[in-house]
Amino acid sequence: PSVNGYVGCRFCPELRLVQDAIGLARKAVRETARLDPGHKLPEGAIPTFNRAVLYLIWYQGFALAARAIHNPYIPSAKVSQYKGVVSFADKDDGSGHKARLGWIPKDLHIYMVQEEAWLRQVERTHRLKEPDGSPVFFLTDNFRPVSVRPGIIEEVSRDIYPFPANTQRKVMRFMLHNAGVSPEMIEMYLGHWHERREPWGRWSSFDNQGYLAKLRNVIPGILKELGFKHIRRGNRPE
């Protein structure tokens, strides 16, 4: 962030910066894993709680290259339990024109189920109400739940990752390119297409099965390289 000159995409940070930020968010998950959600969070634990939630949002957001929108998190119940396939529209007017296929690795799906259960326990303990019906939320200093929004994500991550909430898309585009994924598949992955160029169109020759197979082949390795892993609660996390 202190560099004044850029080569290439301005908001695609160096890989080590991304890995360091993810590592710090992962550390927050380990710290909250030691807390009993049946008891109220101790004073001063809210920043750690929010950073642990950020890790969940990032884990899914990097896997899907999700756009920075209001409530970007996709609940685990909407993901195919056996194949990991999910359809979602993070840039749409309700017509479905920008809907796209995504794939959630099994480890991530298990982690999503675990964290949603943990957040429900926190809700019950603190008598909170899910904002906007989402299972994922941040907390204010006075223990009020707030919806996941780009501005809140940037506020929570500012000290460790001073980049726009949409930066994960640029990182994943770079990583997929380095993994040898075709430009056509990367555009599908990012949800980039114009009218009459839709990969799901009637006359499209886009290979959806080949696309999903490619994601299954490369996404787990990319997430591992970035530093994502399933951290279990109630046991030794790593």
Q: CA-to-CA distance for 48 and 38, rounded, in angstroms?
A: 17
The per-residue pLDDT for range 49-102, each reduced to its tens digit, is 999 999 999 999 999 999 999 999 999 999 998 899 998 888 766 666 677 889
Q: Residue 220: which pLDDT band, with cuts at 50, 70 and 90?
A: very high
Q: What length does the chain have?
A: 238
φ/ψ region of 31 (left if φ > 0, alpha if ψ in -120 to 50, else beta) reads alpha
Taking the alpha carbons at both ends of the chain, their separation in whole angstroms is 31
The per-residue pLDDT for range 98-149, each reduced to its tens digit, is 778 899 999 999 999 999 999 999 999 999 887 888 899 999 998 899 999 9
Give me the chain's average pLDDT, please: 89
Q: CA-to-CA distance for 238 and 225, rounded, in angstroms?
A: 16
pLDDT score recorded for residue 7: 53
Q: Residue 238: which pLDDT band, with cuts at 50, 70 and 90?
A: very low
Cβ atoms of residues 220 and 105 within 8 Å: yes
